């Protein structure tokens, strides 16, 4: 027997899998198949078929060939992740301590991962309505999650996407599956809507003559774009100063040069109003946001890949838009916390936008009326170039801001929880008489955040979490805002049987009731996560408000930004204090930002606007700086505090969170993890200690906060702390969070 003359050499590929394992895996390509880095493949991993991305192709392999399994299939060979996005994912994995596969997963739209899928699962009622309603009651005690799922679907009315059901109820798949098994619900496959995304353009497409500040900003940015150089600009402009107009002008130039641009906006401001402004200027804009079905998102993605759309507008993940010849990335409202993803990979879209800009030689513009201390710090050190728009553009003038000290309100009103001060009531009356519109802002949903027993002082807590439950009147339930659990309202105190529980504190639902009672003739609408659950509700309410079918709009942070309604002449901040005492070093910064943004909703048109800020802390520097519209004063004060306490921008933070059913386990795990960090230079560790929210969903939570004062110290700390897969155990979940946005 002779050897076969030519056995074709085997080609090997390195494959990154979406698993928390920080390495790639070697597979062999079947004879005849080809693949390039960026291709998707299907492989068998420990008996499971998984999708992965090819990161390298080689002719040799260090493993014994017998040990190398073949690639199951090369998927959509024509769909290639560009090298620049591969590189971005590598940088992301390194910075945030996740695996390359996890980072890559974030860069692909779901449809690219599950191609061919056109039907999405929905849940609808199967049993007769009365039976189903009865079941909601019966399940309430023993099978709370099932009860919640069933009620949510019934309330929705028609078929509801499974994805939305689980998200809204905070449940896994098993409760709805059980309901289906028992014949109460039915799972149906419904074709995705392919409705046109870009809303009807009713927005003004006016192309204003730029004022001198805008002109200068546009020139500076456009010049750098034309030079194909990477540079980051910080565009600091007060609300209504015409930042958006600056983005639009630079984008025009980018597009005229045949290049592409990406605009990142906070999810919340992806309203038809914002999108309309881009769409009216660029008919070929691709809009990407989380409300899209997979098919819609995939369609937008294809348009960008093929260069049919050159401008992508979207929330955080639009950062990965596969555009060709990227010229500009805009991060609007760069201070928004929604740019930080709160699940793996925990990336910050602003930071990764800058990395993508470096990789592709693109210009990055960060815009805000209230830049973060990190960004303004870098601008002052010359890392970013600062551009300023100091005045409102066009007709609008900055509003007059009054700080209303609630300590002067009558005692009875204070005890009940002041809702509306006398000053605010008088002004509302005036404005409503004049047929102007009023915005009332309160960053807390529900009726009252605490149900308290006046007998023993105990509040009703969630059974699974260490937080008090919020009373929701319309739902008729106490709701845990951490795990979505619900409870019936107890008639008597569960601890001491005292009759009559007190509703403590004010949420938007209670505020709405108070306003309706006080102004029975006014049309009042509320905009918060509870009233906006349905698809399209947001757009409907805003359209009604625009048409002046609504007199008073009450809302949470949903109404804080982006809205531009010329007839809003009064904005009331019902409580400036809700965020001030949160145990987070950014409490003051976030309060200042929010107050400034909310105030920016008044006086956008010809008419002058007034803002009333109600507070028990009128002397707090965040409140006074917001009232005086004095960003610099706030920054100076706050930077001083940060320097002394060693927080960003003077340190970089890493939070390590451990969660386990047995508290001891979480604690022990962190006590071991902290040891290698202790000897590091320029590193300081706070904790390990119980997290502020000590228990969530029956899991005890411990955390530690690592502060690194130099770049090298940060790298050393990341290396010393190890990986999630090394740290975590089957019974204790570990989260590494770089630049954490929440410390709770
Ligand atoms: P920002 O993004 O800073 O909040 P916008 O770009 O939304 O500001 O502008 C605020 C308002 O001023 C908008 O109604 C916009 O149409 C208008 N505007 C912008 N630039 C000009 C200008 N140069 N002249 C007149 N009006 C302008
Ligand atoms: Zn809970």
pLDDT digits (tens, 9 = 90+) for 12-24: 999 999 998 888 9
Report the range of poorest mean pLDDT among 200-204, 297-301, 730-734. 200-204
Same domain, 408 and 549: yes
Residue 720 covered by a domain: yes
* Spatial separation of the C-alpha atoms in residues 169 and 485, rounded to whole Å: 8
395 belongs to a structural domain: no
- Measured from the Cα of 600, ligand 1's closest atom is 4
Pocket of ligand 1 (CB under 6 A): 206, 208-211, 214, 237, 239-245, 393-394, 564
Return the higher-pLDDT residue of 285 and 713.
713
Residue nearest to atom 11 of ligand 1 (CA): 240
In a domain, 3, yes or no: no
Q: Give the residues across from 189 on adjacent strands.
A: 121
Q: For residue 1, what pLDDT is reported?
A: 45
CATH code of the domain containing 427: 3.40.50.300
Q: Residue 302: what pLDDT? A: 79
Each residue's pLDDT tens digit, 440-454 = 999 999 999 999 998
Predicted pLDDT of residue 193: 43
Helices (H), 191-271: 212-226, 243-256
Q: Which ligand is nearest to the CA of 332?
A: 1
Closest protein CA for atom 6 of ligand 1 = 242
Q: What is the DSSP letter of 114?
A: S
Q: Tell me, yes or no, whether 331 and 289 share the same domain.
A: yes
Ligand nearest to the CA of 467: 2
Compute, in angstroms, the gap from residue 659 CA to the centroid of ligand 1.
Answer: 47
Pocket test for ligand 1, best of 394, 596, 605, 606 (most atoms within 8 A of CB): 394
**Given ligand 1 and candidates 313, 393, 599, which is best to mutate, with the most ligand atoms within 8 Å of its CB?**
393
Domain end call among 622, 641, 660:
641
User: 714-744: b or e for each residue (b if 16 or more CB lie within 10 Å)?
Assistant: bebbbebbebbeebbeeebbbbbbbbbbebe
Ligand 1, closest atom to CA 245? 6
Q: Residues of the chain with pLDDT > 90: what percent?
A: 54
Average pLDDT over residues 71-76: 85
Cβ-contact 259, 314 below 8 angstroms = no
- Total Cβ atoms within 10 A of residue 188: 14
Q: Write down the pLDDT at residue 663.
A: 95
pLDDT digits (tens, 9 = 90+) for 112-133: 555 444 567 889 898 998 999 9
- Residue, of 261 and 157, whose pLDDT is higher: 261
pLDDT reported for residue 112 = 52
**What is the spatial distance between Cα 590 and Cα 600, in angstroms, rounded to a whole number?**
15
In Å, how far are 41, 50, 77, 83 from 112, measured between CA atoms? 12, 14, 12, 17
Give the position, in ligand 1's atom list, of the atom nearest the Cα of 211.
23
Position 244 scores a pLDDT of 92
Stated as kind and residue range, the H or E segment containing 180 is helix 173-181
698 & 604 share domain: no
Could you tell me the two tokens for 121?
A: 């699962």
Confidence grade of residue 194 (pLDDT, cut at 50, 70, 90): very low
Is pLDDT at 535 greater than 50 in this prediction? yes
In angstroms, the CA 168 to CA 292 distance is 16
State residue 272's pLDDT score.
67
Mean pLDDT across 510-532:
89
Confidence grade of residue 202 (pLDDT, cut at 50, 70, 90): very low
Task: Find out whether 243 and 389 touch, Cβ atoms under 8 Å.
Answer: yes
Report the separation in Å between the CA atom of 455 and the middle of ligand 2, taken as the mean of its atom positions.
Answer: 24
Domain assignment of residue 107, given as a range:
12-113
Q: Select from 641, 665, 692 the last residue of a domain.
A: 641
What mean pLDDT, rounded, does the chain reach? Answer: 87
pLDDT for 3 beyond 60? no
User: Which numbered atom of ligand 1 lies nearest the CA of 209?
Assistant: 23
**pLDDT confidence of residue 284:** 79
pLDDT score of 4: 52
pLDDT for 5 equals 52
Nearest protein CA to atom 15 of ligand 1, as residue? 242
- Together in a domain, 317 and 222: yes
In this structure, the answer to whether residues 434 and 476 fall within a common structural domain is no
Both 173 and 106 in one domain: the answer is: no
Q: What is the dihedral of CA 554, 557, 563, 568, to 10 degrees?
A: 40
Residue 140 domain-assigned? yes
* Same-domain check for residues 490 and 564: no
The Å distance, Cα 479 to ligand 2 centre, comes to 8
Per-residue pLDDT of 450-482, as tens digits, reads 999 988 988 999 999 999 999 999 888 999 999
Report yes or no on 196 lying in a domain: no
Residues 268 and 333 occupy one common structural domain: yes
pLDDT band at 63 (very low <50, low <70, confident <90, very high): confident
Task: Give the ligand with the smallest distance to the CA of 468.
Answer: 2
Three-state SS sequence of 181-196 = HCCCEEEEEEECCCCC
Q: Which segment of 93-97, 118-122, 163-167, 304-308 scores lowest on mean pLDDT?
A: 118-122
Ligand 1 centroid, distance to 210 Cα (angstroms): 9
In terms of domains, do 435 and 531 share one? yes
The closest-lying atom of ligand 1 relative to the alpha carbon of residue 214 is 23
In this structure, the answer to whether residues 128 and 84 fall within a common structural domain is no
- Count of domains observed in the chain: 6
Nearest ligand 1 atom to the CA of 369 is: 3
CA distance 576 to 404: 10
From 113, 132, 158, give the residue that closes a domain. 113
Cβ-contact 657, 691 below 8 angstroms: yes
What CATH number corresponds to the domain at position 149?
1.10.10
Give the pLDDT band of residue 271 (cuts 50, 70, 90).
low
**What's the pLDDT score for residue 117?**
41
Distance 138 CA to ligand 2 centre (A): 21
Average pLDDT over residues 376-401: 89
DSSP per residue, 593-625: HHHHHHHTTSS-SSS--EEEEEES-TT-HHHHH
Query: What per-residue confidence (pLDDT) applies to 603?
Result: 75
Residue 62 lies in a domain: yes
The partner residues of 571 in beta bridges, in order of sequence, read 439, 611
Q: Are residues 517 and 529 in the same domain?
A: yes
C-beta separation of 103 from 86 below 8 A: no
- Using one digit for the tens of pLDDT, what is the confidence trace for 317-357? 899 998 989 999 999 999 999 999 999 999 999 999 999 99
For residue 670, give the nearest of 588, 743, 591, 733 by alpha carbon.
733
Residues with CB under 5 A from ligand 2 (ion): 462, 464-465, 480, 482-483, 485
Residue 587: inside a domain, yes or no?
A: yes
* Measured distance between the N- and C-terminal CA atoms of the chain, rounded to whole angstroms: 72
Segment among 194-208, 331-345, 656-670 with least mean pLDDT? 194-208
What is the enclosing helix (H) or strand (E) of 587? Answer: helix 587-599
Cis, bond preceding 479 (omega within 30 deg of 0): no
Judged against a pLDDT cut of 90, whether residue 715 lies above it is answered with: yes
Cα(448)–Cα(593) distance, integer angstroms: 25
Residue 743 lies in a domain: no
Q: Tell me which of 202, 245, 562 to substitute to probe ligand 1's pocket, judged by most ligand atoms within 8 Å of the beta carbon.
A: 245
500 and 516, same structural domain? no
So what's the pLDDT on residue 184? 94
For residue 695, give the H/E element and its range: strand 683-696
Residues 6+ apart with CB under 8 A from 586: none
Reported as a single tens digit per residue, the pLDDT across 217-237 is 999 999 999 999 999 999 999
568 vs 394, higher pLDDT: 568
CATH of residue 106's domain is 3.40.1440.60
Q: What is the largest CA-CA distance in the chain?
A: 105
pLDDT score, position 118: 53
Burial annotation 638-655 (CB, 10 A radius, 16+ → b, else e): bbeebeeeebbbebbbbb
Q: In whole angstroms, what is the distance from residue 186 CA to residue 177 CA? A: 9
Q: Which of 209-223, 268-282, 603-617 holds the top average pLDDT?
A: 209-223
């Amino acid at each position: 027997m002779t050897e076969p003359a030519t056995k074709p050499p085997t080609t090997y590929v390195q494959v990154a899998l979406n698993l928390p394992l920080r390495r790639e895996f070697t597979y062999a390509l079947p004879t005849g198949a080809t693949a390039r880095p960026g291709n998707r493949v299907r492989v068998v991993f420990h008996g499971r078929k998984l999708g992965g991305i090819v990161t390298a192709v080689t002719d040799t392999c260090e493993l014994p060939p017998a040990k190398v399994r073949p690639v199951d299939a090369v998927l959509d060979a024509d769909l290639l992740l560009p090298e620049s996005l591969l590189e971005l994912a590598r940088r992301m994995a390194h910075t945030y301590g996740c695996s390359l596969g996890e980072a890559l997963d974030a860069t692909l739209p779901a449809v690219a991962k599950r191609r061919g899928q056109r039907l999405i699962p929905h849940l609808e009622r199967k049993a007769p309505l009365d039976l189903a309603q009865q079941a909601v009651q019966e399940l309430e005690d023993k099978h709370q999650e099932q009860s919640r799922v069933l009620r949510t679907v019934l309330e929705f009315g028609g078929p509801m996407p499974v994805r939305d059901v689980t998200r809204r109820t905070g449940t896994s798949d098993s409760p709805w599956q059980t309901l289906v098994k028992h014949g109460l619900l039915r799972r149906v496959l419904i074709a995705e809507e392919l409705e046109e995304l870009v809303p009807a353009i009713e927005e003004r497409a006016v192309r204003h003559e730029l004022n001198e500040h805008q002109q200068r900003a546009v020139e500076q940015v456009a010049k750098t774009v034309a030079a194909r150089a990477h540079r980051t600009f910080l565009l600091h402009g007060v609300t209504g100063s015409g930042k958006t107009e600056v983005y639009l002008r630079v984008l025009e130039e980018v597009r005229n040069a045949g290049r592409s641009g990406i605009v990142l906006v906070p999810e919340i401001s992806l309203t038809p109003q914002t999108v309309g402004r881009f769409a009216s200027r660029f008919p070929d804009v691709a809009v990407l946001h989380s409300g899209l079905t997979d098919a819609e998102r995939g369609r937008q993605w294809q348009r960008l890949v093929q260069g049919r759309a050159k401008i992508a507008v979207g929330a955080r993940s639009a950062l990965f838009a596969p555009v060709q010849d990227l010229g500009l990335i805009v991060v609007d409202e760069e201070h928004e916390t929604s740019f930080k993803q709160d699940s793996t990979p925990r990336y910050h879209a602003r930071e990764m936008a800058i990395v993508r800009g470096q990789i592709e030689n693109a210009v990055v513009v960060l815009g805000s009326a209230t830049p973060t201390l990190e960004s303004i710090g870098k601008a002052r050190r010359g890392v970013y170039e600062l551009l300023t728009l100091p005045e409102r553009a066009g007709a609008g003038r900055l509003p007059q801001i009054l700080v209303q000290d609630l300590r002067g309100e009558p005692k009875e009103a204070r005890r009940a929880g002041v809702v509306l001060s006398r000053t605010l009531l008088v002004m509302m009356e005036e404005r409503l008489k004049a047929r102007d519109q009023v915005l009332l802002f309160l960053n807390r949903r529900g009726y009252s955040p605490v149900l308290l027993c006046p007998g023993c002082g105990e509040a009703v807590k969630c059974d699974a979490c260490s937080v008090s439950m919020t009373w929701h009147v319309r739902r008729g339930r106490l709701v845990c805002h951490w795990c979505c659990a619900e409870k019936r309202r107890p008639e008597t105190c569960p601890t001491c049987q005292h009759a009559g529980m007190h509703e403590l504190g004010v949420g938007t639902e209670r505020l709405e009731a108070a306003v309706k009672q006080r102004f029975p003739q006014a049309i009042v609408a509320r905009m918060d996560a509870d009233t906006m659950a349905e698809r399209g509700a947001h757009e409907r309410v805003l359209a009604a408000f625009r048409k002046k079918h609504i007199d008073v709009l009450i809302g949470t942070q949903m109404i804080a930004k982006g809205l531009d309604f010329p007839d809003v002449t009064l904005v009331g901040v019902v409580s400036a204090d809700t965020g001030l005492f949160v145990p987070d070093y950014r409490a003051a910064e976030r309060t200042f930002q929010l107050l400034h943004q909310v105030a920016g909703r008044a006086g956008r048109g010809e008419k002058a606007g007034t803002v009333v800020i109600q507070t028990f802390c009128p002397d707090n520097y965040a409140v006074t700086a917001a009232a005086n519209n004095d960003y610099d004063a706030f920054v100076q004060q706050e930077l001083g505090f940060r320097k002394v306490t060693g927080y960003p921008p003077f340190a970089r933070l890493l939070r390590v969170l451990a969660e386990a059913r047995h508290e001891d386990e979480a604690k022990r795990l962190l006590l071991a993890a902290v040891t290698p960090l202790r000897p590091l230079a320029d590193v300081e560790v706070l904790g390990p200690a119980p997290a502020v929210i000590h228990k969530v969903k029956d899991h005890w939570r411990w955390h530690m906060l690592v502060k690194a004062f130099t770049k090298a110290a940060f790298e050393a700390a990341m290396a010393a702390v190890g990986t999630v897969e090394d740290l975590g155990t089957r019974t204790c979940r570990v989260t590494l969070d770089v630049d954490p946005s929440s410390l709770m």
